[in-house]
Amino acid sequence: MSKNIFSRFYCNRVCVVIGGLALILIMILFFDTYFFSSEKIPSLPDDPLYKDPQASVEDRVTDLMSYMTLDEKIGQMALVENKSVVVEDVRKYALGAILSGSGSNPEQNSFEGWRSMVQGFTSSSHESRLGIPILYGVDAIHGHGNVLGATLFPHAIGLGASGNESLVYELAEATGEELISTGVTWSYSPTLDMPEDVRWGRTYESFSDDPVLVGRLGAAYIQGVQVANEHGTSKVLATAKHFLGAGGMQWNTSSNKNFSIDQGATPVDETKLRNTYLLPFKDALDADVHTVMVGLNSWGETKLAAEHYLLTDLLKGELGFEGFVVSDWYGVYEIPGGEYRAAVTAIRAGVDMVMLPFDYKSFIGNVHRAVQQGEIPMERIDDAVRRILRVKFAMGLFDATSTPPLSDEDLFEHKTLARQAVRESLVLLKNSEGLLPLDRSASSTIRVTGSAANNVGIQAGAWTVAWQGVDGNWIPKATTILQGLQEVAGPNVTFEFSEDGTYEEGNPVIDVGIAVVGEKPYAEGWGDNPYPTLSEVDIRAIENLKKVCVRVIVILVTGRPLLISDAIDDWDTVVVTWLPGSEGAGVADVLYGVQPFTGSLPLPWPAHIGQLPVVGGKTKDGTPPLFPRYFGLR
């Protein structure tokens, strides 16, 4: 065989061998990636340390993480909306938490129905390989508002008007009791936003625009709702939200085409950030809050969920926050670049748990891929999971036994407390001729009108059974403002109610009329309003009432200061109740002097639209507000 034939012969064989080896290598890589990617599952001893309640939290976290696969770790970073997940997947994917978005209720919407629904998800988590219990979260921003029959406390703006920390602590504790009686272990409250523009549909979710008051009441709420149960472990986890600066969003900057200011942009101003927006979050950290929710707003051009400086350098680094950061609703996927890029950006920025209202499987797949491709460092995943597990162990989630259902006595106690909160939230803005307090000792007739007089849905506001609230009186165990008047005034007083203020011709004109007027319920951006004021229907009702009564008391049931400068001079007495919730009788208690007015405005009451936004108590155009912050007659 000639040399060149020989070399050609061997060259061919060598090429075949190399090609074969390359093919085998590609096949190994392919199979490894797609069929054997599930890493080796660490074996689990019969009695692992992490199940020992005597061991330290950090030791239990470290031990548990040593048994976790990458996918089990990623599962813990997923907070999934309950209508988007089958119960079995909680076990299968080792999901970290489930939420009921507002209105995401069980078929049977009662304390029992909720207890059974939540138990289904919790049991599924206990059946997972490592038995890591889920957190179950709701927005209990004014009590366990989703549940029919729950105590509906005044919304936060009314609590801001009360300024009473111990009251807020007590009602937060009562809220925690109603939550845990249904198995719910996490509430996305308190809100620490400070609204500067009352055109914002979330004004009523805030205590005030004063960072000192917001910090005081927020801390009291966190301590109250997290108060330890009989095992010495936390009942319910609070959430400081929305980090950071949502109250400073500017009108007409919303990233949502349906809204004007909600989900808008907060101008970048580091000094203001540190001297205003950040202060209540520092108080919340001092009050031992373990979760912080990222806002849907932007800091300048950057979505908060993508803000590494604020979430990691500031909150976790400078302030030393050791709990976990949770994103809000669909906020992560509003980061530009598509779902994969958005998830990578948010997790790298410092989001530890991602709220997934719709799809969790692609989230888990994307994050798995990003870790494999080195776009999300394993250290970041481990940090996020360590934070989540630390909170779960620290609040006793692994060790707590189930809490018994709420007793009727407890519920009665909560309603009594809620009625007290209503009394303390009322603010007297005007009282000509000392018309208040009303006299119930002598027989009298009072005419009552207005859309909010006999409507629990309006006085409760949104985040009540349904996200946008309900309209009407079908909420059980609640008292309307009219019913409260009838109850408190007693037999000497006759109330003639006509919602539109019209009465039969020929009826004699009487001394006093009460117009209970206000806003229909709204939540978030759906409440963004370019000119918040009374409806035409309510304005007409007041005018009709003035034709048949000598003196008129106007009761404002509203989630925010309304533009009333043009009308208030025609009203003899004006009281603002904010959104009082289920215990409408608390309003009558103060109108009849059972308890005096003690409330004051938690934020300035603008005189006209040109004064907005009001920043630090100062109106945009420099003119005086109709009423300054902390105004309130006694």
Distance CA 180, CA 402 (A): 8
Q: Which of 75, 101, 158, 245 binds ligand GLC (CB under 6 A)?
A: 101
Q: Which of 91, 241, 303, 387 binds ligand GLC (CB under 6 A)?
A: 241
φ/ψ of 353, rounded to 5, equals: -125, 130
Shortest gap between Cβ of 460 and ligand GLC (angstroms)?
17
Tell me which DSSP letter residue 569 carries: G
**Given the residues 328, 334, 352, 583, the one annotated as active site:** 328
Of 342, 368, 356, 482, nearest to 80 (Cα)?
356
In this structure, the chain runs to a length of 634
What are the residues whose beta carbons fall under 8 Å from the beta carbon of 402, sequence distance 6 or more?
119, 183
And the tokens for 546? 């003035």
Shortest gap between Cβ of 146 and ligand GLC (angstroms)?
10
Is 570 one of the annotated active-site residues of the chain? no
Pick the closer one to ligand GLC by CB: 248 or 632.
248
CB of 225 within 8 A of CB of 292?
no
Shortest gap between Cβ of 223 and ligand GLC (angstroms)?
20
CA torsion, ordered 584, 585, 589, 590, to nearest 10 deg: 10
What character string, x for contact with ligand GLC (CB under 6 A) and - otherwise, covers 394-423? ------------------------------
Q: Report the 10 Å Cβ neighbour count for 393.
A: 22
Distance CA 289, CA 218 (A): 10
Of 431, 459, 479, nearest to 581 (Cα)?
459
φ/ψ of 556, rounded to 5, equals: -95, 115
Shortest gap between Cβ of 357 and ligand GLC (angstroms)?
8
Of 293, 256, 288, 280, nearest to 206 (Cα)?
280
Distance CA 180, CA 241 (A): 21
Place of tokens 């500017």: 250
CB of 122 within 8 A of CB of 183?
yes
Shortest gap between Cβ of 155 and ligand GLC (angstroms)?
13
Cis peptide before 190 (omega within 30 of 0): yes
Q: Helix, strand, or coil here: 553?
A: strand
Restricting to residues 302-321, which ones interact with ligand GLC according to CB under 6 A? none
Pick the closer one to ligand GLC by CB: 290 or 419.
290
Pick the closer one to ligand GLC by CB: 296 or 556.
296
Q: Helix, strand, or coil here: 389?
A: helix
Instruction: Report if residue 188 touches ligand GLC, rule: CB under 6 A.
Output: yes
Restricting to residues 563-622, which ones interact with ligand GLC according to CB under 6 A? none
Give the Å distances, CA to CA, from 448 to 529, 570, 574: 28, 17, 14
Is 339 one of the annotated active-site residues of the chain? no
Pick the closer one to ligand GLC by CB: 74 or 296.
296
What is the distance between the terminal CA atoms of the chain, rounded to a whole angstrom?
117
Pick the closer one to ligand GLC by CB: 71 or 81.
81
Residue nearest to ligand GLC (CB): 188
Instruction: Report if residue 206 touches ligand GLC, rule: CB under 6 A.
Output: no
Shortest gap between Cβ of 577 and ligand GLC (angstroms)?
24
Instruction: Report if residue 139 touches ligand GLC, rule: CB under 6 A.
Output: yes
Instruction: Report if residue 328 touches ligand GLC, rule: CB under 6 A.
Output: yes
Q: What is the DSSP string of 197-242?
A: -TTSTTGGGSS-S-HHHHHHHHHHHHHHHT-B-TTSSBSSB--EEE
Q: Which of 102, 146, 327, 483 binds ligand GLC (CB under 6 A)?
A: 102
Q: How many Å separate Cα 381 from the centre of its chain?
A: 26
Pick the closer one to ligand GLC by CB: 153 or 597.
153
Pick the closer one to ligand GLC by CB: 99 or 130.
99
Restricting to residues 507-566, which ones interact with ligand GLC according to CB under 6 A? none
Shortest gap between Cβ of 242 and ligand GLC (angstroms)?
6
Shortest gap between Cβ of 139 and ligand GLC (angstroms)?
5
Instruction: Report if residue 144 touches ligand GLC, rule: CB under 6 A.
Output: no
Pick the closer one to ligand GLC by CB: 139 or 197.
139
Q: Helix, strand, or coil here: 502?
A: coil
Pick the closer one to ligand GLC by CB: 89 or 262.
262
Q: Which of 111, 207, 329, 605 binds ligand GLC (CB under 6 A)?
A: 329
Shortest gap between Cβ of 329 and ligand GLC (angstroms)?
4
And the tokens for 198? 């009352």
Judged by CB under 6 A, the number of residues near ligand GLC is 8
Q: Report the 10 Å Cβ neighbour count for 38.
A: 10
The catalytic site residues sit at 328, 524
Q: Using CB under 6 A as the criterion, which residues of the chain lie in contact with ligand GLC when the complex forms?
A: 101-102, 139, 188, 241, 296, 328-329
